[in-house]
Structure 1
Amino acid sequence: MHSRVTKVASPIDFAVFLTFFPHVVAGPIVRAREFIPQLATPRSPRNLPAVPALFLILGGLFKKLVLADFLAISVVDPVFGSPAAFSSPDTVAAVLGYAAQIYCDFSGYTDIAIGLAMLLGFRFPQNFASPYSAASLQEFWRRWHMTLSRWLRDYLYIPLGGSRRGRVRTAINVLLTFLLGGLWHGAAWTFVIWGAIHGIGLVIERVWGDWRGRRAAPEGRSRVRVLLPKAGGWLLTFVVVCLAWVFFRSPDLPVARGVLSGLVGRWGEGSSLVTPLVVGAIVLGIGTQFLPGRIWRTLERWFSRLPAVLQGIMVGVLIVLMVVLVGDQGVAPFIYFQF
């Protein structure tokens, strides 16, 4: 642990690290050894990655203003405010909508933060990598809030003993890490249960993986036999993550129970909240995570080749469109500002 301590040349460098605004409020969690050495690096406006930074900032604003806030107002807040008043289709839309909302809200914020840091000449670690495309909870936590995941690993899981003391102790350490991770978000049973769901799920995955590892894999498996388990793993992971989000979003356990019962008990009733715009926002918020990364890189290259005047016009038009789409609803605070 001592070998990873970063020496600071001056108190000013340390003060800059503590107060650097892009990361100080809600992440990504940037470590001193990642940030402080960059203070000594010469930087020039000509060498700043302006186009990638601009793409991150505009993409983050779109995710927050157009998708996350729209879903919150249109479907998530009404259902979680009064779950007994809505049908099962509305409740399903609210649960899926919150999965899209919290991703677009939080990843949108970190995209903006990373983009602003890039414009100032600093590199921040990636914080999200298409988490809803994960085919297991282990993979999900390698893709979701990645800087928090490594913080929990380095400062809770490993100090507790990690995986060095046998399977039972490893399972206990995983569960304790996620229970404490839940409490980190707030001293409420809803957050504890959210952490417990992920912790128990990860323990089950470890046990299942050990059992499958002891069985010889059949040779010459067809493509279908390879893809089906992966598709099943993705579906199961997504369902578990969404059900856990119910507790994370609910202000208390009675609301969580109401939402969960609404998922199964009122399918005969009509829907008042499921509209094409709501479905489209959910599909955009979740479905775009399955697109290849090269699509965004191609767009960046295309944009970077445009004349500066045309780039400015396009950026201005996009900002005006986002302001118009927001309309009178205003901008809600970022979700993770409360933690």
Structure 2
Amino acid sequence: MLFYTKTFLLFWIVSFSLHFIFRKNQKVWPILLAISSSVFYGKLDTRFLLLVLAIAASDFVLGILIENETVQSKKRRLVVLSIIVNLTVLGFFKYFNFFISSTSDFLVALGFHPHIQLLKIVLPIGISFFTFESLSYVIEIYRSHMKASRNFIEYYLFIVFFPHLVAGPIIQPKLLIAQFQNGPKITEYKIKNGLWRFFVGISKKLLIADQLAYFVVDPVFTSPGMFNSLETWIGVIGYSFQIYFDFSGYSDMALGLAQVYGFELPENFNFPYLAKNIRDFWRRWHISLSTWLRDYLYISMGGGRGTRLEKYRNIFLTMLLGGVWHGASYNFVIWGLLHGVYITVSHIFNDFFESDKKLGSRFEIVQVLLTFALVTFAWIYFRADNLGTAHAIIKKLFAPSSLQTPNLSFVVFCFLGASVIYYVIARLNFFTFMDKTFSGKMGNGFVVAVIVTIVCLVMIFDKQYSPFIYFQF
């Protein structure tokens, strides 16, 4: 179920009421929350509840075995087993047909004509997120960064906790499991702030991201031949804001829901379009994935411990694999490749020419605009349905254009409105302001207004099914 439906509101009221009543009973509330999280996922896709349970059970057992094992070589084999199990599951559901079709295309190019039938595979929602989290748990135990949990419900809840289950943020296991062990810390402030954060997220999604998609982005990416260069530019830039408001909106809702239940999730965005270079962008965008790739992929390949050439290789491969993680498509491969090139070149400039030190805050606007332009260009491959559409849009960007656009005034209004909102929130310490507001005398009035607005938004948009962009990963 989506966060902005009447079904979810009913689920939330029942789930939180039970959670609040039994919040001090350490034996009861984890079971209730695990059940409600399972119901949440089952409502999205009942077919794969057993898959989630099997992955959780497998790594729960392997975690204990790894911690109890004293022989390093055997520990390593157990970790490898976990990696094989998780990546096999992920690979089958997400990449099997892509591998088969790519093999078929290669054979056709060689002159063969194979008759290969693709399987009808349904991708489990959130599979990339919960497999990565389960893997990180085992690796953290292997690295002796945490103790293995002996409470399966506690560990299962780490995997299925519904606010972050299907689209992150990807949680460091020790951060969330430790909170479950200590029990929920529900306070009036957390409930108020969580509701406000949820309101911010649902507003980003329904009032900005979905409107940009409907009026600006989808028409251009669906039928690029019908639009001139100026309209295409607006559509492409519009997608940069759509995906930000869509994904950061989900993260805001997830963090807000977790707060209401008495837990804290890490921030996943920090105004990425104000980044001054591509390295800064990846410290601000989808922070939990960037951190995961750094901790478990980049460092495992050697990180920056070798020569500079080896460091650049590791950086490039990490970003390329990060692109592949997003989906089984050449578009995502190219998107990851572009970011691999971007960030590698950025490191080279900083290593050899000390670009960060020399530029400093000078030309900040130019740096921000250049970074935004590079990211926006890469988003074309991320959004386009196939390479043909991506290349048609790129070609249209640089074609001669007329300024006469039928819907230009409304389109520009949507785009500029999203940009202004983004910039104002970024420059004003808005959440700190709201924290003070909620803790003040007017806090209760704001909470009532926020709740009423959330309910109104749900009632208005309940039938307009528009899933979060990152649900497909």
TM-score by length of 2: 0.65
1:131–1:289 contact (8 Å) kept in structure 2 = no
Alpha-carbon offset, residue 289 of structure 1: 5.1
The separation in 1 between residues aligned to 2:262 and 2:230, in whole angstroms, is: 47
- Distance in 2, Cα, partners of 1:69 & 1:145: 20
Equivalence for 1:117: 258
State the shift of 1:54 in Å. Answer: 1.6
CA distance in 2, matches of 1:322, 1:85: 33
* Residue of structure 1 in register with 2:445 after alignment: 310
Q: Find out whether 1:257 has 2:394 as its counterpart.
A: no
Structure 2 counterpart of 1:272: 406
Shift of 1:71: 0.5
Amino acid at match of 1:290: A
1:291 alignment partner, one of 423, 427, 434? 427
Rounded Cα–Cα distance in structure 1 between residues aligned with 2:416 and 2:456: 17
- Aligned counterparts of 2:226 and 2:362: Cα–Cα separation in 1: 38
* Structure 1: stretches of 5+ with no match in the other structure: 218-224
Report how far residue 215 of structure 1 moved: 12
Amino acid in structure 1 at the alignment position of 2:164: H
With structure 1 as the length reference, what TM-score do the two structures score?
Answer: 0.90
The within-5 A match list for 1:53-64 is 53-64=194-205
Tell me the residue number matched to 1:338: 472
Displacement of 1:320 after TM fit? 5.7
1:44-69 per-position Cα deviation (integer Å, ceiling 9, x unaligned): 54455122212210000000000000
Instruction: From 213, 221, 232, give the equivalent of 1:72.
Output: 213
One-letter amino acid of the counterpart of residue 262, structure 2:
G
1:76-95 to 2 correspondences below 5 Å: 76-95=217-236
Flag structure 2 segments of 5+ consecutive residues without an equivalent: 1-141
Contact kept? 1:88, 1:266, Cα under 8 Å: yes
SS of the aligned residue for 2:158 comes to helix
Q: How many residues align?
A: 330
Q: Identity over the aligned pairs, expressed in percent?
A: 37
Q: Which AA in structure 1 matches 2:256?
A: G
Would the alpha carbon gap of residues 229 and 126 (structure 1) be closer, same or farther in structure 2, given more than 3 Å must change?
same
* Pairwise CA distance, 1:133: 0.5
- Of residues 201, 204, 208 in structure 1, which corresponds to 2:345? 204
Corresponding residue of 1:100: 241
Alpha-carbon distance between aligned partners in 1 of 2:369 and 2:229, rounded to the nearest angstrom: 20
Q: Is the 8 A contact 2:154 2:180 kept in 1?
A: yes
Larger radius of gyration: 2
Q: Residue 256 of structure 1 aligns to a residue in which SS?
A: helix
What residue is the counterpart of 1:300 in the other structure? 435
Which residues of 2 match residues 1-339 of structure 1 at below 5 A? 1-43=142-184, 45-46=186-187, 49-213=190-354, 227-268=361-402, 270-274=404-408, 275=410, 276-284=412-420, 286-288=422-424, 290-293=426-429, 295-307=430-442, 310-319=445-454, 322=457, 326=461, 330-339=464-473
**1:321 Cα shift?**
5.7
Q: Distance in 2 between matches of 1:99 and 1:68?
A: 10
Counterparts of 1:214 and 1:22 in 2: how far apart (Å)?
A: 40
Deviation larger for 39-48 or 230-239: 39-48
Q: Which has the higher contact order (CA 8 A, sep 6+)?
A: 1
Q: How many Å separate the matches in 1 of 2:357 and 2:292?
A: 35
Structure-2 separation of matches of 1:216 and 1:152: 26
Is the CA contact 1:57–1:116 (under 8 Å) kept in the aligned structure 2? yes
Note closer, same or farther for the CA distance 1:46–1:157 as it changes in structure 2 (3 Å cut): closer
Once the two structures are superposed, residues 137-163 of structure 1 have per-residue CA deviations (whole angstroms, 9 ceiling, x without a partner) of 100000000000011111111111111
Return the offset for 1:24.
1.1
- C-alpha separation in 1, matches of 2:298 and 2:171: 19
